[in-house]
A and B are shown apart, each in its own frame.
Chain A
Amino acid sequence: MPLFETIKHTYKHLWSDASTASFRKYPSPERPDILSIDILSKEIDPTTGVLKCTKLIICKGNTPSWLKSILGSGECLFYEETTVDPKNKIMTLKTKNLNFTNILGVDEVCTYEQHPDNEEWTLFTQEATVTSSIFGVARKMEAFCLDRFVANAGKGRKIMEDTIIKVQKEAEESLASFDKTFTSIKHEAEQSFEKAFSTAEDILPIIKLDDKQSQTTQNTQSNNNKKK
Chain B
Amino acid sequence: MSNKDNKDNKDNKEKKHPMLDPTLCKELKERHDACFNKWYTTAFLKGNATMECVEEWEEYQVCIKIKIVQKKKKFTPHNY
Contacts and interface: CB of A to CB of B under 8 A. Distances in A.
Interface of A: 16, 19-20, 23-24, 38-40, 42-44, 46, 49, 51, 56, 58, 77, 84, 86, 99, 167, 171
A86 B37 contact: no
21 contacts: A16-B41, A16-B45, A20-B41, A20-B45, A38-B64, A38-B67, A39-B60, A39-B64, A40-B64, A40-B68, A42-B57, A44-B49, A44-B50, A46-B49, A56-B67, A58-B71, A77-B71, A84-B44, A86-B44, A86-B47, A167-B41
A23 B32 CA distance: 13
A42 B51 contact: yes
Contacts of A46: 49
Contacts of A44: 44, 49-51
Counting chain B residues whose Cβ lies within 8 A of the other chain, the interface size class is 10 to 19
Contacts of B67: 38, 56
Contact of A38 (B29, B49, B50): B29
Contacts, number: 46
Question: Which 7 pairs show the lowest CB-CB distances between chains A and B?
Answer: A49-B49, A44-B49, A16-B45, A20-B41, A38-B64, A86-B45, A99-B75
Interface of B: 29, 32, 36-37, 40-41, 44-45, 47, 49-51, 57, 60, 64, 67-68, 71, 75
A23 B37 contact: yes
B55 to A, nearest CB: 14
Contacts of A20: 37, 40-41, 45
Contacts of A19: 45
Nearest to B53: A42
